[in-house]
Amino acid sequence: MTISTGAKLPDAKLVKMGDKGPEAVALGEKLKGRKVAIFAVPGAFTPTCHSAHVPSFIRTKDQFAAKGVDEIICISVNDPFVMKAWGEATGATAAGITMLSDAASEFTKAIGMDFDAPPAGLVARSKRYAMLVEDGVVKVFHPEESPGTCEISGGESLLAAI
C-alpha cells in the first residue's frame, strides 16, 4: 500500500556517512516533534535526480526554513558511500541537505514507493516523490507519475503546497 497524506511514516533505519563511517539513523527519532521535507529519487547521479531534483531543493532551502521546515532530507536506494559522494558533487551537503541511504530499500518498500526498471539497471529503487512531514505524519505528498520527470516533486512545487 502506498503512503498517503495523513499517514504516519514507519520508523525505518536509514544510513548516513559520519566522520568515522556509516551511521544508523532512526527516522522516527529524526522526525519526532519536527517539520521535515523529504524527497526521494530513483538513483544518485542519474540524469533527472542529479540535474533537476537535488538542485530544486538546494535553490529553495532558505525558503523552506522561512516556512518553519527544520530539515530537508534526500533518500535514495544507494549505499551511504555513494550518497556522501553525490551530496558533495551536487552541493547538497554544503547546502545543509541530509543525504540518507535506504540501501536495502526497506523504507521505500514499507511506504509502497518501490519500483524496478531492469533495462536501466534499476532494481528495488524508489519512485520519485516529495513530502512534508510533521512529527512523523505526512502532511503533503507529491509522487511523480514517471521516474524520469521532476515536476510536482521538485522543491518549488512542495514549497508552494505548504
Q: What is the pLDDT along the chain (162 residues), one digit of tens a residue?
A: 689 999 999 989 999 999 999 999 999 999 999 999 999 999 898 888 888 999 999 999 999 999 999 999 999 999 999 999 999 999 999 999 999 999 999 999 999 999 887 777 777 889 999 999 999 999 999 999 887 889 999 999 999 999
Q: Residue 148's pLDDT is what?
A: 84
Assigned domain for 76 exists: yes
Find the domain containing 25 and state its range.
13-161
Q: Residue 147's pLDDT is what?
A: 75
d(CA 71, CA 75): 13
d(CA 70, CA 60): 13
Q: Residue 146's pLDDT is what?
A: 82
d(CA 49, CA 44): 7
State the maximum Cα–Cα separation within the chain, in Å, rounded to a whole number: 42
Torsion, Cα 134 136 139 142, to 10 degrees, reads 120
Q: Residue 116's pLDDT is what?
A: 80
Q: Would you call 74 a catalytic residue per the annotation? A: no
Assigned domain for 7 exists: no
Assigned domain for 52 exists: yes
Of the residues 17, 49, 75, 152, which is catalytic? 49
- The number of domains in the chain is 1
Assigned domain for 35 exists: yes
Whose cell is 551511521? That residue is 23
Q: Residue 120's pLDDT is what?
A: 75
CATH classification at residue 124: 3.40.30.10
Tell me the CB-side half-sphere exposure of residue 94, using CA atoms within 13 A.
8
